[in-house]
Amino acid sequence: MDNARTLGLLLERVVDGAESRPDEATTTAILDQAARLAGACLAPIAPEADRQGCLMVDGRVRTPPGYREAWREYADGGWAGLTAPEASGGQGLPMALAAAVQELLDAADPAFGMLAISVRCATRLLARHGDPCLSAIWLPKLAAGAWGATICISEPQAGSDVGRIRTRAMQGANGAWRITGEKCWISCGDHDLTERIGHFVLARPRGAPDGTRGLSLFLVPDTRDNGTRNGVSVARAEEKLGLHASPTCALVFEDAAATPVGPEGRGLSTLFAMITAMRLGVASQGAAVANAAVAVAERYARDREQGALSDGSLARIIAHAEVRRLLLGMRLRAEAVRLMALQAAAWVDAADRGDAAARTRAGMLLPIAKTLGAEAAFANADAAIQVLGGAGYVRDWPVERMLRDSRVFAIYEGTTAIQGLDLLLRHVPAPGALRDLLAHLEPDPALTTTVEAAADFLSEVGVRQREAAAVPFLRLLGLACTDGLLRRAGRAAGPLADRYAALAAFYAVEAPPRAAALAARCRLGDLDAVFDRVFPN
């Protein structure tokens, strides 16, 4: 409940652009109910679901015990339709509130939340680009949690290199489309939680040009209207490091009936309505695990007795300086990425209402929120294991699961390198974009100067040097964004303002030297020369 109240307060007083959310009382009620669902329904089944994982039975995926009942409770509670249009049976609530709800649920079990993210993102895609007839069928089912959805991009020979996709789309004489090809790394590609699964598939129609311009987007149901299979089969379910209860599948499409979504040849740009929401979902996953890890570590540190005080009495380890330093670092990371995820979501909401400037700011902040959220989750899980010591390394405590689950956050929906390139090559060059973002977040002026100087320098160098600087620059801008958001919370967060102000002051000690080092890394022009000396052919 503490997290629910904190999230509500941040939406009410700190996050810019969250005006489309309900009134404070309704927001509080929704977040309180999400916290109850997480605590009573998801947290108890998460450890065993992780141990058992998903099974392949007769070519289909079976989820762990308790998951079907949990999904039904989730769907019956209206959570699947939180952001779906009211006309389709949803609640029409904003992404910022959905991000807060997701954090509460994913803190209990991010594996369960994978399907919830996919359904929400598919809803957003269809609401913007779906044919009215198609949307009329699918949106109510998605909002009810009766049907699921996936995003199918990667192929064995083409992961992030989308232009090399080979999956083919063939249109028959009657105008009907069929899809043939193989897709991999499909989250929730098959499961027993919903009656039907809709796969949003990037494919290349016959005669379309090579590269991304030749790709179109199709919705491929896993079953036909009569319940028989629609040429979609599961090649395998992956054995993964983490997220064991979330099935990741390789799928084969054989002459599967499909319906186009969006204009032909504009598949990737159409799909970005879903990709944007998916990346936002990863940012919220990161915030969820980061906050869950520090909560476990703090509770343990307050209870665990180790060492002695000056009067000879036993000390709890929270009194030790190094444990306090670890906990402060964890809390700082957790609150920073929580603020980033909420702020990015609120700007996405504002962009959906037609605010072009908010759309630009969301485009810049989202790669940062996704990357730093992923890294904060893993770093906090690692630090929690350190605080717990040997207890953290075994399955009796959830932090080792958090470490395994969170490692993939920096990989799927665009790796860290892809996020850096997207930020530096696509968003930063937009006229006035960087200045507007920094003006809204108001970091320390010295950090603003450092970021702008690095951006100016990189605008004058070759593409290869900008590529090498992409991730360092993302981290540099992330430092400034973190500083600004913590400072704003320290001014505006009401009863929590003092805590955020203390975190901002703690952060201000390390931010300038880190910024200087990252700025210097951005200017390093001989990366290839150094690499060739270290790794000669």
pLDDT at residue 138, rounded to an integer? 98
Which pLDDT band holds residue 439 (cuts at 50, 70, 90)? very high
What's the rounded Cα separation, in Å, for the pair 335 and 329? 10
Which pLDDT band holds residue 17 (cuts at 50, 70, 90)? confident
Question: CATH classification of 2-143 is 1.10.540.10, yes or no?
Answer: yes
H or E element: which one contains 347? Answer: helix 321-352
The radius of gyration of the chain from alpha carbons, rounded to an integer in Å, stands at: 23
Please give the CATH topology (third level) of the domain spanning 148-267.
Butyryl-CoA Dehydrogenase, subunit A; domain 2 (2.40.110)
pLDDT tens, residue by residue, 53-80? 999 999 999 999 999 999 999 999 999 9
User: Which letter does DSSP use for residue 390 in this model?
Assistant: G
Encoded tokens for 316: 């709890």
Tell me the mean pLDDT in the region 420-441. 97
pLDDT at residue 471, rounded to an integer? 98
Taking CA atoms, 121 is separated from 93, 142, 201, 272, 275, in Å, by 14, 10, 14, 10, 8
pLDDT tens, residue by residue, 340-399? 999 999 999 999 999 999 999 999 999 999 999 999 999 999 999 999 999 999 999 999
pLDDT at residue 425, rounded to an integer? 96
pLDDT at residue 307, rounded to an integer? 79
Least confident of 18-27, 257-266, 314-323, 477-486: 18-27
Tell me the mean pLDDT in the region 87-105. 97
Question: Are 335 and 489 a contacting pair, CB within 8 Å?
Answer: yes
Tell me the mean pLDDT in the region 274-283. 96
User: Which letter does DSSP use for residue 38 in this model?
Assistant: I
Is the predicted pLDDT of residue 170 greater than 70, yes or no?
yes
Tell me the mean pLDDT in the region 153-167. 89
CB atoms closer than 10 angstroms to residue 528: 11
Sequence-distant (6+) residues with CB within 8 A of 281 are 99, 102, 117, 120, 121, 413
Give the rounded percent of residues in the chain with a pLDDT score beyond 90. 93
Tell me the mean pLDDT in the region 515-531. 92
What's the rounded Cα separation, in Å, for the pair 536 and 325? 41
Sequence-distant (6+) residues with CB within 8 A of 535 are none
Sequence-distant (6+) residues with CB within 8 A of 231 are 178, 179, 253, 254, 255, 256, 257
> C-alpha dihedral over 454, 460, 464, 466, to 10 degrees?
20
pLDDT at residue 308, rounded to an integer? 77
Taking CA atoms, 110 is separated from 57, 342, 354, in Å, by 24, 17, 32
Is the predicted pLDDT of residue 19 greater than 80, yes or no?
no
pTM above 0.85, yes or no: yes
Question: Are 414 and 459 a contacting pair, CB within 8 Å?
Answer: no
pLDDT at residue 286, rounded to an integer? 98
Is the predicted pLDDT of residue 18 greater than 80, yes or no?
no
Question: Of 48, 239, 413, 467, which is the active-site residue?
Answer: 413
Q: Where in the chain is the domain with CATH 2.40.110.20?
A: 148-267
Query: At CB < 8 A and 24+ separation, what contacts does 304-312 make?
Result: 304/388
SS (H, E, C) 418-432: HHHHHHHHHHCCCCC
What's the rounded Cα separation, in Å, for the pair 452 and 396? 47
pLDDT at residue 159, rounded to an integer? 76
pLDDT tens, residue by residue, 77-91? 999 999 999 999 999
pLDDT at residue 160, rounded to an integer? 80
pLDDT at residue 1, rounded to an integer? 62
pLDDT at residue 88, rounded to an integer? 97
Active-site residue 375, yes or no? no
pLDDT tens, residue by residue, 207-229? 999 999 999 999 999 999 999 99
Taking CA atoms, 175 is separated from 137, 231, 258, 359, in Å, by 20, 18, 11, 36
Q: Where in the chain is the domain with CATH 1.10.540.10?
A: 2-143
Q: Please state, rounded to an integer, the average pLDDT across all residues of the chain.
A: 96
Question: Are 158 and 238 a contacting pair, CB within 8 Å?
Answer: no
HSE-up of 513 (CA within 13 Å, CB side)? 3
pLDDT at residue 309, rounded to an integer? 76
